[in-house]
Structure 1
Amino acid sequence: MNYTDLKHEASRIKRDFSIIDYFQGLVSAGALKYEGMQGKEHFFGFLSQRTGSIAVDHRTNVWYDHSAGRGGDVLEAVQVFENKTFSQSVEQLSDFPTERIVVPKNKPKAAPNIKIESVKKVSHPALLNYIRSRGLESDDISDFTKEVHWCNKGKSYFAVGFPNESGGWVLRSSIFKGNILGGGISIQILGTPERIKIFEGWFDFLSYLKLSEATDFKAIILNSTANLKLSLILNVLAECEVVDLYLDNDATGEKYTNFFMKSAQLYHYCRSNAISTDWDLNKLKVTRGKFEKLISTLKISSRDVEGIWCFQTEVTDQRYRYKGFEDLNELLKSHVDTGNQNHIRQ
């Protein structure tokens, strides 16, 4: 990328790239923890911090680390948190959301000091109360979660822990949200899978189980929408044609649901027309127009493009089942609050 192209791409990234998505990616990678919102800002922190010091303003798309006295835009965040050069930062963020992999080379020095002290059945009263606050009981989650105690720099912590595919833990409590020992997706297989269901988080998956009593499916729990890369989508589609999406009823959920469904249409169109589905993902270096670029690379005629977006697949958007609620867990909590015994269909 020459200097002029680099400047133009940097300007586009600063304008279009969601800084919240970037910091959520750091949480998914186990480098940071999410502390929640204070006022109109999101707060993040290193695992070694009791209180997160990094404020992220989604309105202005900037961040500021109060403890270090520095901040800036998303490109400056990549340079600080991943020790990248300016040009490397631009090239990395140009891949989003197709193949961006946020794995900081220089994680906080405290990370290697994290030590798991115990993993056991959830029994701590504070965690049981937290689970109940999410509309669930201990029996609803006992097959999927543990009570994880860990130590970091001489201080002990505990939370509800869910395993992920990298061998780490997704940790949740009323005061903590983060990962340790690696981030990434989680997978659960129930019965003899007939379809794949994709959830944003563990509590959406657990809420679905309680509301539907469903069996015989493979669940992919993203733990962060930043993990829904095109490479994962292609692996899912190659494994199973029947896919149900249970993402959030918000702008991010809309964006990634549409991204998955359009990817599925193009993938199955290619399969039906003997066009290669072995796509070179490294060539998809732009956020906008990624499908147009791929269609051009695959040498699909412009007169046939309309047929791609009309192509019928067995990928379904299930958000209508919890219309009016942010996610499945909010639907479950409303059922618990009102005593509603109605279940959703499998």
Structure 2
Amino acid sequence: MKTIQAIKRLPIRTYLAGRGLYPTKDNPRYGLYLSPLREERTPSFKVDYLQNLWYDFGLGAGGSIIDLVMRLERCDFAQAIRFLGSGERTPMVVPVSSSVPPTVPALRLLSDIPLRHPALVGYLSSRGIDPDIAFGYCREVHYAINGWEYFAIGFRNDAGGWELRSERFKGGISPKHITTIDNRSDTVIVFEGFMDFLSYLSMKKQ
């Protein structure tokens, strides 16, 4: 029987391939899939190959391969460990105990501080974004995924959630919502993401 840490290192993409699930977009760092957890037409299920973690942008949840097996095989933690540790590939359909929450947010907010980490400031500059502009709208957000701590550029939405971005990660902390900024104008400009918004402001300044 493998240890839990060894099980968490089992490639998520290999597990998904065993279920006949393959990415619609693939590169050495991550793959984008149509979510296996719900119906969708635009892929929003990301598997980070380097960290071996998954995140479903539509659900606002993610985690390790164990978390994914619990959801897809509809089993509890101990059953997922046995399933992965034994190398078994027969899906288990076991009712989940009512004491197990059906949805557990994968990203946990630890803190938000003024944006200052050199890696994040350097990433903004590499994208052609003026850091001085970003400082006025963004924060440095520290968060945890299954006990592992990370940090990213954070852009808060109207519901109190965060959109997160760094050189190696794109995700968010629930709840998902839009962000509105009132500049006392009758003109409305809509951006798909906050990086587009910051890029626009940087170009406008130039």
Give the TM-score of the pair, scaled to structure 2: 0.54
Q: Which amino acid aligns with 2:179?
A: S
What runs of 5+ residues in structure 2 fail to find an aligned partner?
1-38, 47-55, 69-83, 91-100
Equivalent residues in 2 for 1:194-205 (5 A)?
Answer: 194-205=186-197
Provide the residue aligned with 2:147 in structure 1: 154
Contact 2:152 2:165 in 1 (8 A): yes
The alpha-carbon deviation at position 138 of structure 1 amounts to 1.8
Distance in 1 (alpha carbons) for counterparts of 2:160 and 2:89: 34
Q: Please state whether the residue corresponding to 1:128 is helix, strand or coil.
A: helix
Alignment of 1:167 with 2:172, yes or no, is no
Which deviations, in whole Å up to 9, do the C-alpha atoms of 1:237-271 show, x marking residues without a partner? xxxxxxxxxxxxxxxxxxxxxxxxxxxxxxxxxxx
The alpha-carbon deviation at position 180 of structure 1 amounts to 1.0
Q: Please state whether the residue corresponding to 1:123 is helix, strand or coil.
A: coil
The alpha-carbon deviation at position 21 of structure 1 amounts to 4.6
Determine what percentage of the aligned residue pairs are the same residue.
Answer: 34
Equivalent residues in 2 for 1:9-158 (5 A)?
Answer: 19-21=41-43, 23=45, 26-31=56-61, 46=62, 48-49=63-64, 106-107=102-103, 109=104, 111=105, 114-158=107-151
Q: Which amino acid aligns with 1:209?
A: L
Inter-CA distance 185–21: structure 2 relative to 1 (3 Å threshold): farther
Contact 1:30 1:183 in 2 (8 A): yes
When you count helix as a share of all residues, which structure comes out higher?
Answer: 1
Distance in 2 (alpha carbons) for counterparts of 1:177 and 1:144: 17
Aligned residues: 135
Inter-CA distance 123–29: structure 2 relative to 1 (3 Å threshold): same
Give the TM-score of the pair, scaled to structure 1: 0.34
Distance in 2 (alpha carbons) for counterparts of 1:137 and 1:121: 16
Inter-CA distance 119–21: structure 2 relative to 1 (3 Å threshold): same
Distance in 2 (alpha carbons) for counterparts of 1:170 and 1:189: 19
Equivalent residues in 2 for 1:284-303 (5 A)?
Answer: none
The alpha-carbon deviation at position 203 of structure 1 amounts to 1.2
Inter-CA distance 159–49: structure 2 relative to 1 (3 Å threshold): farther
Q: Which amino acid aligns with 1:201?
A: G
Contact 2:157 2:176 in 1 (8 A): yes
The alpha-carbon deviation at position 23 of structure 1 amounts to 4.2
Provide the residue aligned with 2:170 in structure 1: 177
Distance in 2 (alpha carbons) for counterparts of 1:129 and 1:181: 26
Distance in 2 (alpha carbons) for counterparts of 1:180 and 1:155: 15
Q: Which amino acid aligns with 2:189?
A: K
Q: Which amino acid aligns with 1:119?
A: D
Q: Which of the residues 192, 200, 205 maps onto 1:208? A: 200
Distance in 2 (alpha carbons) for counterparts of 1:69 and 1:200: 40
Which deviations, in whole Å up to 9, do the C-alpha atoms of 1:265-303 show, x marking residues without a partner? xxxxxxxxxxxxxxxxxxxxxxxxxxxxxxxxxxxxxxx
Distance in 1 (alpha carbons) for counterparts of 2:145 and 2:113: 19
Distance in 1 (alpha carbons) for counterparts of 2:161 and 2:155: 9
Contact 1:163 1:186 in 2 (8 A): yes
Distance in 2 (alpha carbons) for counterparts of 1:208 and 1:143: 14
Distance in 2 (alpha carbons) for counterparts of 1:170 and 1:28: 13
Contact 1:170 1:178 in 2 (8 A): yes
Q: Which amino acid aligns with 1:27?
A: F
Equivalent residues in 2 for 1:252-271 (5 A)?
Answer: none
Contact 2:163 2:172 in 1 (8 A): yes
Distance in 1 (alpha carbons) for counterparts of 2:171 and 2:114: 20
What runs of 5+ residues in structure 1 fail to find an aligned partner?
1-16, 32-45, 54-66, 71-104, 214-340, 342-346
Distance in 2 (alpha carbons) for counterparts of 1:160 and 1:133: 14
Distance in 2 (alpha carbons) for counterparts of 1:69 and 1:127: 41
The alpha-carbon deviation at position 49 of structure 1 amounts to 3.4
Inter-CA distance 18–175: structure 2 relative to 1 (3 Å threshold): same
Q: Please state whether the residue corresponding to 1:179 is helix, strand or coil.
A: strand
Which deviations, in whole Å up to 9, do the C-alpha atoms of 1:30-57 show, x marking residues without a partner? 12xxxxxxxxxxxxxx2x239xx8xxxx
